[in-house]
Structure 1
Amino acid sequence: MSHHLTSRNPALSKLVQEGYELEFRPGLLLVHAVPYVNAHSQIAYGTLVSELSMDSPDMVGMPGSHQMHFIGDHPCFADGRIFAPVQYNSGDFHLGNDVLAQHHFSHKRKDRDRNWIAYEDYYVKVKTYVDVISGQAKMIDPSVDARTRKVATWVDDTTPFVYADTASTRAGILAINERASQLRVAIVGLGGTGGYVLDLLAPTYVPEIHLFDGDKLHQHNAFRAPGAVPAEALGRHLRKVEWYAEHYGNLRRGVVPHAEMIHEANVHELSKFDYVFLCIDSGQARALILDHLKNTNTVVIDCGMGMHVLKDEQKLWGTIRTTVSSPGNRDDAASLMPLVDREDDLYRSNVQIIELNALNAAMAVLRWKRLIGMFADDRLEMEGTYNTALNQIGNKPEPL
């Protein structure tokens, strides 16, 4: 988050000029030293926390919510009664960026006609909350003031992103998303499905995403890739991994290209990852990787697609598959995957459909997010499948 934020945004600049004690963390605005009254009718000081919506890396938008969090005891009226005008919910609120709040406040403004109105900027939002809460403290001691005139502080952005992730803070799920921040992940195969796996992993907090694929980026690949590949990029004769690392470098750091296929000489590199997404159609390569990782703690999430053309009807039908191989189910998982290369193997079909590539990737990344605790998981399936003709998802549960 840029230290120029306060100078380029009038609302924040006004807060600084008036002396409010501000702290900026990625996606969050903290206002310290807010005087309030506790349950014993004593004056105390707490911290207000707001999401910080951004229109661009240096320009804030309108507040994304009328709500704020609070670090401290619950503010009270001067006589010690709970201050109901802001009361909403209390508990432990993990907001991410090492911020833990104890209360969640809700306070809306009304216009002259008593209609609810939004906060037009962060100056109005902060000042309104501070005035409402500290007003009770001023009844006890008129000299108390949140405007300490301390210099605004910034906590450096240690995330992998080029600019702050305000989507997570706006939705209030930053602490959940940070659960991926210590994991190392690899994608083997950057064809259709692998490209979409990267597209879904790029906005996550994994510090590094390693890409393994030795193929060049061809024109037909552009029609199965997320987003739009410029004609200029096709003319540069890049490897797939080079294009993807360059493209997603606009969003994040840590996308590491390896312009090579996985084979006997380099398969050992995969053992250093916590999770490996396999997005390849070679049964022989899949068998090599599974055999090498069999005695490691690496979890493999294998993607497969099988398409068939009904020639008489000129229609397609197919199945996509997501299979999890973990230390506790290696043999059972391997029995569900194609480990040989056969001409009649459904999963070796050259037919690739972009929407099924995307769905296959989404199923794989959702399975990963459930494995690491970002989503609730009541199924614990070893394999999930989707059949286009039946429009049906199937699950094979983990063996007990």
Structure 2
Amino acid sequence: MLLKQTNHSLGIKELHNDDYEVEIVGNFLLIHSVPYLNAKKELVYGTLVSNVSTPSPNTHVVYFIGETPCGIDGRPMSQLINNSQRQDLGNGIIIDHLFSHKPNPMYPTYYEKMTTYVNILSGQAQHYFPEATARTGRVIDSKQEDSVLHYTDTNSSRAEVDAINEKLSGLKIGIIGLGGTGSYILDKVAKTLVGEIHLFDGDKFKQHNAFRAPGATTKERIDLNTFKVEYFKEVYSQMHKNIISHAVYINETNLGLLNSLDFVFISIDVGEIKKMIFRKLENLNIPFIDCGLGIEREGNELMGIVRTTLSTPDKREHVYNGLVSFSNGKDDDYKTNIQIADLNDLNAIFAVIKWKKYYGFFNDQRLEHDSNYSVNVNTVFNNET
């Protein structure tokens, strides 16, 4: 039984949201770090275990891993303990006790069932240790074999948008260019359920990159002089399992690397290569977003423009009608040497939002394929609808 299947019907989502240490192993729900008293009236911690093979509880009993729980008098809680016999439930779960606290009517969800037992145990512990709590907020690594994340996305379950998140599930995403904008795109895409994230960049991660990339890094890490794609893979593989690095510049010799992708973000400023990539993706019927960032000096201040251009199998030619420049020279308004992290991030945000609109994550009433945000007038312009 996968956690994503049980979140809505069993009350497990609420346990996550209340900061309990929740784990699903096979058909069993485990709540870790439950405080209780042992025979010496010491504060110790155990694990509650319940079968969750049915949509709602069909039995009132739970298992317990730990010492014999005692009341404030140091005597075993005989009113709770049905038997104390070590038992192997499979999946590495070995329990020590069986508890029985029968309600009338039956517990409506596993939230009520598990929190009832938590409160019975922790209530005794709190007599001597008032701060004792099972709501630790610690994250239990996801055991889902098919999950692309190393731990459960409790943020989405709190907001009840798990079903919406599934719209992005399994997509193979490419990010071409891991300079300022591309790295911020990765930062956001890595927090979704996409199946794979392919990174393409042949440049090394240098000191100046650290000032226009998300997060922070150490001087020692910069001094390793690794490829950008390897550095960012190392960082974001802590969250997402399937980040694939390609330490190459995309050119006519390796365009085949794009063949299996479902969607591509492009954040490079070499016009000739960009047009080649466009044509390749068009031939493959792959939708893509091209990002543009232009920053210029105006006296002692900076002016900036952020462009987001979407190309889909249903609409392609607009990218060749002056919206995107394929120049490598100074006449390209979006090609300057100035990079500012704020606008790199904003460029990525507009691109990711548009990508999510395309897949129905966000509502899209304008269906624009190109937009520009101008910093100095604080306005978004839809140049083509």
From 334, 342, 347, the counterpart of 2:320: 334
For residues 317-328 of structure 1, the aligned pairs below 5 Å read 317-328=303-314
Partner of 2:273: 285
Corresponding residue for residue 177 of structure 2: 189
Written as runs of structure 1 = structure 2, the 5 A alignment for 1:85-164 is 122-124=114-116, 156-164=144-152
| Alpha-carbon distance, 1:6 to partner | 3.0
AA at the equivalent of 1:326 = T
Distance across 2 between alignment mates of 1:339 and 1:359: 22
Quick one: distance in 1 between partners of 2:371 and 2:117? 46
1:217 aligns with 2:217: no
- CA-atom RMSD, angstroms? 3.0
For 1:396, the equivalent position in structure 2 comes to: 383
Q: 1:274 to 1:122 in 2, by over 3 A?
A: same
C-alpha contact 1:275 1:300 (8 A) present in aligned 2: yes
> What corresponds to 1:32 in structure 2?
57
Q: Distance in 2 between matches of 1:191 and 1:155?
A: 34
Residues of 1 paired with 2:204 and 2:34: CA distance?
48
Instruction: Return the alpha-carbon distance in structure 2 between the equivalents of residues 124 and 165 of structure 1.
Output: 25
| Alpha-carbon spacing, 1:23–1:315, altered in 2? closer, same or farther (3 Å) | farther
Letter in 1 for 2:257: E
Letter paired with 2:240: R
Q: Is residue 380–residue 397 contact of structure 1 (8 Å, CA) maintained in 2?
A: no
Aligned partner of 1:21 in structure 2 is: 51
- The residue that corresponds to 2:223 in the other structure is 235
2:259 aligns to what SS in structure 1? Answer: helix
Any gaps of 5 or more consecutive residues in structure 1? 25-29, 36-76, 79-85, 87-104, 108-118, 129-153
Distance 1:324 1:260, change over 3 A: same
2:30 matched residue in structure 1: 6
Q: What letter corresponds to residue 179 of structure 2 in structure 1?
A: G
- Identify if the C-alpha distance between structure 1 residues 270 and 14 changes in structure 2 by more than 3 Å, giving closer, same or farther: closer
CA distance, structure 1, for counterparts of residue 202 and residue 47 of structure 2:
54
Gaps of 5+ in 2: 1-22, 36-44, 61-103, 121-141
* 1:137 aligned partner: none
* Structure 1 residue 278, shift from structure 2 partner: 0.2
Equivalent residues of 1:304, 1:347 under 8 A apart: yes
> Pairwise mapping of residues 256-271 of structure 1 onto structure 2 (< 5 A)?
256-271=244-259
State the one-letter code of the partner of 2:301: K
1:177 counterpart residue number: 165
Paired residue type of 1:333: V
Runs of 4+ in 1 over 4 A off after TM superposition: 1-5, 11-15, 125-128
Report the alpha carbon displacement of residue 2 of structure 1 after superposing the two structures with TM: 6.7
SS in 1 for 2:213: coil
CA contact under 8 A between 1:193 and 1:360: conserved in structure 2? yes
Residue 234 (structure 1) shift: 0.7
- How far the C-alpha of 1:359 sits from its partner, in A, is 0.5
SS at structure 1 position matched to 2:291: strand
Q: Is the 8 A contact 1:324 1:383 kept in 2?
A: yes
Correspondence for 1:373: 360
Q: Distance in 1 between matches of 2:118 and 2:151?
A: 24
Partner of 2:83: none
| Alpha-carbon shift at residue 340 of structure 1 (Å) | 2.0
TM-score of the superposition, structure 2-length normalised? 0.68
Cα displacement string for residues 68-118 of structure 1 (whole angstroms, at most 9, x for unaligned residues): xxxxxxxxx99xxxxxxx9xxxxxxxxxxxxxxxxxx9x9xxxxxxxxxxx
Is the 1:188–1:278 Cα contact (8 Å) retained in structure 2? yes
> Alignment partner of 1:256: what SS?
strand
Conserved? CA contact 1:317–1:389, under 8 Å? yes
Q: Which amino acid aligns with 2:34?
A: P
> 1:72: which partner in 2?
none
SS of the aligned residue for 1:170 comes to helix
- Tell me the residue number matched to 1:205: 193
CA-to-aligned-CA distance 1:203-222 (integer Å, 9 cap, x gap): 10001100000000000000
Give, in angstroms, the shift of residue 226 of structure 1.
0.1
**How far is 1:342 from its partner?**
1.5
Q: Distance in 1 between matches of 2:31 and 2:310?
A: 50
Distance of 1:350 and 1:176 partners within structure 2: 39
SS at match of 1:8: strand
Counterpart code for 2:151 = Y
Question: Matches of 1:181 and 1:217 in 2, distance apart?
Answer: 30
- Number of the residue aligned with 2:156: 168
Which AA in structure 2 matches 1:368? W
For residue 348 of structure 2, what is the aligned residue in structure 1?
A: 361
Q: Which moved more, 1:264-273 or 1:205-214?
A: 264-273
Distance change in 2, residues 1:126/1:240 (3 Å): same
- Cα deviation digits, residues 246-298 of structure 1 (max 9, x gap): 11111111110000000001112213211100011111111110122222220
